[in-house]
């Protein structure tokens, strides 16, 4: 029986890896050259269903394969994807199960996340308003530019998309916290885990793109400009991934768990708790 479950898990990891690669092909190109895609969404669902290790492998192998196909001349991009997607996928599965097993206060965590994303949005709105919106041809009202910041000759592009989607994250998390009584324990845990992991993904994309591409070209000033310009795509991809994964997770979980495709300890714990509650009520 155990060998059957291991085999099923390997098959599911392979399937989700393929889906993550295919999801990365479903994309919308952004003005800065980056793109919004569904690869992260597939990775997150895999991590929620199968655990952190499986989710990390699905994201790393699936999206890493996409980069191997299209970015063979940019080893820094391939390395960034393999490392970061494994970390993010692992964190989604780990945090999700930690919240359920330790019964951490999901509602309070969501309020904290909402406040954090709101603060990020306010900071970037201030930067956007005070920036130069006419430099470098960015006169469409969507980007501001800071020149000669930190004593460098390069410039930083502050996109209006960053505060917009920061506020959307904040609104979504606070609404979820307010309506928490209508969400299942698993859905709340999934929302918290995915929100935290997506934020780490945004930071990781920026830092690794800056450092790895800076090492490749021996110019960290140029690489940080490129890394800054890619942040909006990461925000939008993250927001879409959070919404879709939380909406679709519960139905998929119920379907494949009832079919016996996965063995989930968190589900067993819920069953045990339910049995105890029923027994106690009968004894009364």
| Residue 275 pLDDT | 37
Per 3-state DSSP, the chain is made up of helix, strand and coil in percentages (nearest 5) of 80, 5, 15
Q: What is the pLDDT of residue 278?
A: 37
- HEC secondary structure over 171-237: HHHHHHHHCHHHCCHHHHHHHHHHHHHHHHHHHHHHHHHHHHHHHHHCCHHHHHHHHHHCHHHHHHH
Q: 3-class DSSP state for residue 38?
A: coil
CB 197 within 8 A of CB 259: no
| Sign of the alpha-carbon dihedral angle for 110, 116, 120, 122 | positive
Whole-angstrom Cα distance, residue 255 to residue 261? 9
Domains of the chain: 2-279 (1.10.1760.20)
- Tell me the C-alpha to C-alpha distance, in Å, between residue 263 and each of 45, 49, 97, 106, 205: 16, 10, 13, 24, 33
**pLDDT at residue 274 in the model:** 38
The predicted model scores a pTM of: 0.83
pLDDT single digits (tens) 183-207: 888 889 999 999 999 999 999 999 9
Which is more confident, 49 or 257?
Answer: 49
Task: Give the closest residue to 170 by CA, choosing from 105, 103, 237, 235.
Answer: 235
Asked whether the predicted pLDDT for residue 38 surpasses 80, the reply is: yes
235 neighbors 166 (Cβ within 8 angstroms): yes
pLDDT, one tens digit per residue, over 212-241 is: 888 887 777 778 778 888 888 899 999 999
123: pLDDT strictly greater than 80: yes
Would strands 27-29 and 155-159 be described as parallel, antiparallel, or unpaired?
unpaired
Mean pLDDT of the chain: 83
Residues paired with 29 in a beta bridge: 35
Span 51-103, pLDDT tens digits: 999 999 999 999 999 999 998 888 889 999 999 999 999 999 999 999 999 88
């Amino acid at each position: 029986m155990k060998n059957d479950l291991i085999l099923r898990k390997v098959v599911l990891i392979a399937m989700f890896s393929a889906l993550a690669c295919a999801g990365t092909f479903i994309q919308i190109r952004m003005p800065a050259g980056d793109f919004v895609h569904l690869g992260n969404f597939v990775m997150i669902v895999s991590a929620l269903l199968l655990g952190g290790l499986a989710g990390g492998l699905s994201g790393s192998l699936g999206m890493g394969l996409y980069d191997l196909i299209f970015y063979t001349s940019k080893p820094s991009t391939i390395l960034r994807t393999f490392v970061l997607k494994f970390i993010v996928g692992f964190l989604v599965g780990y945090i999700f199960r930690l919240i359920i097993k330790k019964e951490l206060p999901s509602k309070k965590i969501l309020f904290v996340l909402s406040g954090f994303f709101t603060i990020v949005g306010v900071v970037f709105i201030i930067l956007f308003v005070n920036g130069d919106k006419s430099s470098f041809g960015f006169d469409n009202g969507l980007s501001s530019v800071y020149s000669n910041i930190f004593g460098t000759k390069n410039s930083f592009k502050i996109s209006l998309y960053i505060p917009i989607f920061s506020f959307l994250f904040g609104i979504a998390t606070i609404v979820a916290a307010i309506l928490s009584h209508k969400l299942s324990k698993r859905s709340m845990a999934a929302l918290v885990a995915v929100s935290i992991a997506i934020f780490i993904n945004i930071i990781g994309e920026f830092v690794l793109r800056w450092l790895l591409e800076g090492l490749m070209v021996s110019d960290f000033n140029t690489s940080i400009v490129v890394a800054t310009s890619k942040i909006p795509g990461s925000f939008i991809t993250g927001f879409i991934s959070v919404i879709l994964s939380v909406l679709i997770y519960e139905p998929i979980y119920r379907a494949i768990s009832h079919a016996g495709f996965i063995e989930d300890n968190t589900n067993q714990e819920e069953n045990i708790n339910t049995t105890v509650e029923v027994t106690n009520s009968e004894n009364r």
